[in-house]
Homo-oligomer: A and B are copies of this chain.
Amino acid sequence: MSTDSTSESTPAGTSDEAEVVRFEDVLAARDRLSGIAHRTPVLTSRTLDERVGAEVFLKCENFQRVGAFKFRGAYNALSRLPAVVRARAGWQGVLAFSSGNHAQGVALAGRLLGIPTTIVMPRDAPASKRAATEGYGARVIAYDPATERREELAARFMEQGDFTLIPPYNHPHIIAGQGTAALELLDEVPDLDLLLAPCGGGGLLSGSALAVAGRRPGKCRVVGIEPELADDATRSFRTGVLQTVDNPPTMADGTRTPSLGSLTFPLIRRHVADMRTVPEEAIAEAVRFLFYRTKLVVEPSGGLGVAALLSGALTVASRGPDAASFPARRIGIILSGGNVDGPVMGEILAGEIS
């Protein structure tokens, strides 16, 4: 099942398409983001180490600009727009469809680079997200998801104007940008033997896996974590055939994407060792744990790695002789974001920490 990065064979489900993003692209993205994205801190918790039975290093992308790793990919992608595109007469800038962190990432990147941004978001998106996106200078277009389909909207926009679409994950520059978080973590903690990253569309997970494969080949495994309710990537990983979910009701809103992409799926098949899923209660417990014990505000999607360890969905070998465990002593976790609305956090905290 595991397809580690040093494997000589080409596992089923991978293709040459994966080669459109390489470790060198992650290195180049790091240079491009230098001095612009935050080099976020890596924090530790004695309590977490004791609970897990290993040393855990939390890469705090909740402290990233716009509150999530998404800024990395968005800035990398926008900064690589060819000059010839930007100079085109009538070019209207970039277009993105997102009600979440990708929207804010694109909006801020556009402001910093002097590129107009148009963000299409559902009419029922939280007012705070719309306000934040507009605050970065983006034009926000609301649509009614009950009566309009996103794809038709996209087609209409592209017909009516000269926009460059920036997808949220299935784009080589997005993937390379997202990989810079893991790269920074490995620069700071070079001897990781396990890295956990949440998985929605797979941009963060595939970018992280590329960074690990380039920096620490064969010595650090990468495991992607999904909500049980949105387990399409895990099923895709196991079957080798792309699986989908339809608007899954998980609180981890960053992972509600319908499926992996044509770029992220083969990269994940090639470079990721395994996938694990966690139930909603484990996600809530992780968010509570991070709030009470580490004093970090982490959104549900951002807590997936911690959820996997605390719930036992993933165990490390030092805990016992379980063959399914990973022989890990030093574990990195990408805390991918911290954008959680107050009422949602209030509901999560209303439960008791176990």
Binding site for B on A (CB under 8 A): 41, 43, 46, 60, 62-63, 65, 67, 288, 291-292, 294-298, 338, 342-343, 345-346, 349-350
Contacts and interface: CB of A to CB of B under 8 A. Distances in A.
A192 to B, nearest CB: 20
Contacts of A297: 291-292, 295-297
A331 to B, nearest CB: 19
21 contacts: A41-B41, A41-B43, A46-B65, A63-B294, A67-B295, A288-B342, A291-B297, A291-B342, A291-B345, A292-B342, A295-B296, A295-B298, A296-B296, A297-B297, A342-B346, A342-B349, A343-B349, A343-B350, A345-B346, A346-B346, A346-B349
Nearest to A294: B63
Nearest to A341: B349
Q: Which of A63, A291, A297 has the most CB of B within 10 A?
A: A297
A291 B295 CA distance: 10
A280 to B, nearest CB: 18
Contacts of A296: 295-297
A292 B126 CA distance: 14
Contact of A63 (B43, B62, B298): B43
A350 B350 CA distance: 13
